Amino acid sequence: MSLFITFEGPEGSGKTTQIRLLADALTRRGLRVLATREPGGTRIGNAIRDLLLDSAHTEMSFRAETLLFQAARAQIVDEVIRPALAAGQVVLCDRYADSTLAYQGYGHGQTLEPLRRLGDYATNGLTPTLTIYLDIDVRAGLARKRAGAAEEWNRMENHALAFHQRVRDGYLALAAADRPRWLVIDAAQLAEAIHMQLRARIFALLAGEADAE
């Protein structure tokens, strides 16, 4: 039984924790689970990740940044995600195409339609079954991130607070425009409370998939 579930959110929203909890819960139900991330998840994607997130690369243009994210995305879709789905696995991905619309679109002020076309090309039309958006005040999220390991702070997080606010506003706009695909959860809650909400939605999806077989 394959499902493609993506996780989105501002910096410090707790995606990594929730993916780990969900992967454990699904594995206990006997499902085969693949957890991966963007950018990264492949040898090529990890090399692009290092380039994108290096705080020394202050000269990187918005368009170059956009294309690098899409290149990493195309690689992980072709090499990892599609084969896993074809094999009947549940794929949990930390960020996906919606991140480009939120960060490079709303955040940097680029027109969304060309970014959507690039995303369609990079993903070859692969759309998530469900997108979980963990929403958090940007100040609180960045404070969480700063309190973590120093090596986790990267070039994207160095942007001004106004940039991160535009990203959050963009995510909320994307979720409002496609409500059936998105599950919006308040990420200021305790991790276990968040997990129970998203698990309930996903277990309901799995039940529906089983009924359809």
Q: What is the pLDDT of residues 95-137, one digit of tens each?
A: 999 999 999 999 999 999 999 999 999 999 999 999 999 999 9
In the predicted model, is pLDDT for residue 212 greater than 80? no
**pTM, full prediction:** 0.93
- The residue that leads in pLDDT, 17 or 153, is 17
* % of the chain surpassing 90 pLDDT: 83
- The residue that leads in pLDDT, 210 or 156, is 156
For the chain, the three-class secondary structure string (H helix, E strand, C coil) is CCEEEEEECCCCCCHHHHHHHHHHHHHHCCCCEEEEECCCCCHHHHHHHHHHHCCCCCCCCHHHHHHHHHHHHHHHHHHHHHHHHHCCCEEEEECCHHHHHHHHHHHCCCCHHHHHHHHHHHHCCCCCCEEEEEECCHHHHHHHHHHCCHHHCCCCCCCCHHHHHHHHHHHHHHHHHCCCCEEEEECCCCHHHHHHHHHHHHHHHHHHHHHHC
The third-level CATH classification (topology) of the domain covering 3-212 is Rossmann fold (3.40.50)
Contact 44, 169 (CB under 8 A): no
Query: Which of 60-69, 83-92, 156-165 is the least confident region?
Result: 156-165
- The pLDDT assigned to 14 comes to 94
Mean pLDDT of the residues in the chain: 93
- The pLDDT assigned to 150 comes to 45
Query: Which of 97-101, 119-123, 139-143, 186-190 is the least confident region?
Result: 139-143
- The pLDDT assigned to 159 comes to 81
Q: How does residue 203 score in pLDDT terms, banded at 50, 70 and 90?
A: very high
